[in-house]
Amino acid sequence: MTLIADLTDLLGPAHVLTGGDCARLAQDWTGAYHGAPLAVARPASTDEVAACLRLAARHGVPVVPVSGNTGLVGGTYTEGGLLVSLERMNRIRALNPQTRTATVEAGVILSTLHDAAAEQGLYFPLWFGARGSAMIGGVLSTNAGGSNVLRYGSTRGLCLGLEVVLADGRVLNLMSALHKDNSGYALRDLFIGAEGTLGIITAAVMKLVPAPRAHATATLALRDLRAAPVLLNRLQEASGGLVEAFEFMPASYTRRLAEVRPDLGQPFDDIPEVTILAELAATAPLFCTPRADGTVPLTEVLETTVAALMEEGLIVDAIVAQSEAQRRAMWARREAAAEITFAKRPFVDTDIAVPLDRAADFLEAIHARLAAVPQAHEPLTVAHLGDGNLHFTVFPVDGSKAEYDRVITLIEDVVAGLGGSFSAEHGVGLSKRASMARRKDAVALDVMRALKAALDPAGRMNPGKVLPGHGGAAS
């Protein structure tokens, strides 16, 4: 209990949580992991984070950072470790419209940054369903993706600089707003996606872009999934690369949506096998200025392209949003994905990436393999199809670990055969450590272990996560 006493002296009793007060942060969003932290420390500054880590090192206690706790892979699980919550470090230190950058602390909620950027006519282009609770530290630590990766890249591509507290309490200042800095190793990128295993991200310099002045959004029923790359490429060519989102919702997803969220409605009278949500966004007056008849050129680009593909038979039905309310309704159906996925148990949840033209091959192959095994399995898919990221979930009748392992291995086999990855945007955490052992290049794992040993020789930073064979709870 000495560590708790020291933390209380440092932060005050209101900011050191123990017992039942830890519950809201001890369980992950999916409910699959229930931890038992020694305590939760809630520092309010980088200096206090550094002091917390020095105290934890003195007492030999593991440290696990937690931000919005919206992760899906058990990345904040701990038994007896110290959770360091960044929720009080929630200041936007600076927002510079001239350089289009925002200097933010790790506890800034994603939607808060969206709102602050919007006040300056700017946009932070990282967008996903949990934006109202996910925090900057968490999205950096997992290199989060979302719906706009197609155009703007994942979180790593949106970050210019970082501030990180290392395991020994030293502060690594990489808070540069430079777009070019070729002065040695790319240390910034090392910590992005490391899930707190190398240090705690406390602040960052993030890129902003001009806020879109017009959106063109459509829900489209395709002949089959192999028509999707043709549609995407035609939209990119017609618009000059203005496609921001290209989301895939197959019939399995749409039927489940109708069961769990009937209030969101259905776009078509009959559920199509392939539904695509496509969105273009622009800032240039050429695309955004309404004509005398009220039509918006960007919407016309979308409508013209869709009409041509309907004549060719690739699109069988289409709805183009004619108002912001219609656009929001379309997005609500897509953003209900996590809610409808984790409402049913047991589940085997994956977050895979395949080459852009192999999504149909993956689904055909995995459905065939699942159909060939004795146990019943119900599949559910939703995807950021424009960047090849599929969230493929299986609901097995048998919830045993053996069945989980069998299903996950089947999925990995198909993904590997297509040149894909078992982890796209959710991170590794606990749930994908076995996959790391099976699928990650052995030399890459050796290099990762060497980096871990150099920066965290005692192995106290988020132990048991990411790297196989590094202690912690079994996956």
Write down the pLDDT at residue 383.
97
C-alpha–C-alpha distance, residues 101 and 209, integer Å? 9
Task: List pLDDT tens digits, range 433-443.
Answer: 999 999 999 99
Instruction: Report the alpha-carbon angle 49-201-183, nearest 5.
Output: 120
Encoded tokens for 361: 């091959």
Domains and CATH numbers, the chain: 2-85 (3.30.43.10), 92-210 (3.30.465.10), 214-337 (3.30.70.2190), 344-436 (3.30.70.2740)
Encoded tokens for 247: 């989301």
For the chain, percent helix, then strand, then coil, each to nearest 5?
40, 25, 40
Q: Label the pairing between strands 159-165 and 171-174.
A: antiparallel
Task: List pLDDT tens digits, range 25-43.
Answer: 998 888 888 999 999 999 9
Task: List pLDDT tens digits, range 338-386.
Answer: 999 988 889 999 999 999 999 999 999 999 999 988 777 889 999 999 9
Please, what is the average pLDDT of the chain? 95
Section 56-65 average pLDDT? 98
Write down the pLDDT at residue 350.
95
Task: List pLDDT tens digits, range 236-249.
Answer: 999 999 999 999 99
Write down the pLDDT at residue 343.
86
Examine the pLDDT at 429 and tell me if it is beyond 60.
Answer: yes
pLDDT-based confidence at residue 1 (cuts at 50, 70, 90): low
Write down the pLDDT at residue 156.
97
Write down the pLDDT at residue 32.
84
Q: For the whole model, what pTM was predicted?
A: 0.94
Measure the CA dihedral 263/269/271/274, to 10°: -110
Write down the pLDDT at residue 473.
41
Task: List pLDDT tens digits, range 83-134.
Answer: 999 999 999 999 999 999 999 999 999 999 999 999 999 999 999 989 999 9
Enter the DSSP assignment of 211. P
CA distances from 394 to 275, 366, 407 (A): 20, 11, 8
Lowest mean pLDDT among 284-293, 340-349, 421-430, 440-449: 340-349
129-156 burial: b if 16+ Cβ within 10 Å, else e = bbbeebbbbbbbbbbbbbbbbbbbbbbe
Write down the pLDDT at residue 29.
82
